[in-house]
Structure 1
Amino acid sequence: MLVRLSELSGKEIIDVDNGERLGLVGQTDLVICETTGSIHSLLLPTASFLGLGKKRAEVVIPWQAVRKIGPEMMIVELRQRGRVYE
């Protein structure tokens, strides 16, 4: 799947298994392979309410978990891959 970074900006990330809105692509960091330039994964921060309290770990979304990229959303499937926390 060939996608420009500018095409991803602002899209909502939705988990297809439960319909949960995980965040926006613009809020994520990308892990990119230095040799190929391909996206390895998305790092989605999970902030606490109003920035107060203990900050939780990031959600790592493997690029292989991306199922569909539409005009407004990116659909991911995390159930089979599992959620990976750092």
Structure 2
Amino acid sequence: MRLSELSGKEIVDVKRAERLGVLGQTDLEINEKNGQIQALLIPSLKWFGFKRQGDEIRVSWQHIRKIGNDMIIIDIPENEDQQE
């Protein structure tokens, strides 16, 4: 799959049934040694969509359960803190 095919997909947390963001408005954490994607870094938004400085949700690549046509489903175990 190409990065361009991922762009624009909504990121949804399956446990919370909550939309976290859209890929393309997020950053990717990439392992410099092997080039693999390690995590999605999703900015936390406050009122009216203005970004707060430094607030983001880090979603490890291993927590992605399904990449569909329109969305990416993530499942983060409750014992792991997604705020970095």
Q: TM-score range by the shorter chain?
A: 0.7 to 0.9
Instruction: List per-residue Cα deviations over 1:29-67 (Å, max 9, x = no partner).
Output: 000011111000000001221328x65621000000000
**Quick one: which of 31, 55, 60 aligns to 2:29?**
31
How big is the shift at 1:26? 1.0
Give every structure 1 segment of 4 or more consecutive aligned residues whose post-TM-superposition deviation is greater than 6 Å.
Answer: none
In the alignment of these two chains, the number of paired residues is 83
Distance 1:82 1:75 in 2: 17
What is the TM-score of this pair, normalised by structure 2? 0.86
How does the TM-score come out when normalised to structure 1?
A: 0.84
Q: Which residue of 2 aligns with 1:57?
A: 55
Gaps of 5+ in 1: none
- Is the 2:29–2:41 contact (alpha carbons within 8 Å) kept by the matching residues of 1? yes
Q: Percent identity?
A: 46
Tell me the equivalent position of 1:18: 16
Provide the rounded CA distance (Å) in 2 between the counterparts of 1:22 and 1:8. Answer: 15
Give structure 2 stretches of 5+ with no counterpart.
none
| Alpha carbons of structure 1 residues 57 and 15: separation in structure 2 relative to 1, 3 Å | same
**Aligned partners of 2:39 and 2:58 also within 8 Å:** yes
Distance 1:57 1:72 in 2: 25
Say which of 24, 39, 42 aligns to 1:41: 39
Encode CA deviations 1:9-45: one digit per residue, 9 max, x unaligned.
0000011112111110111100001111100000000
Higher strand share: 2
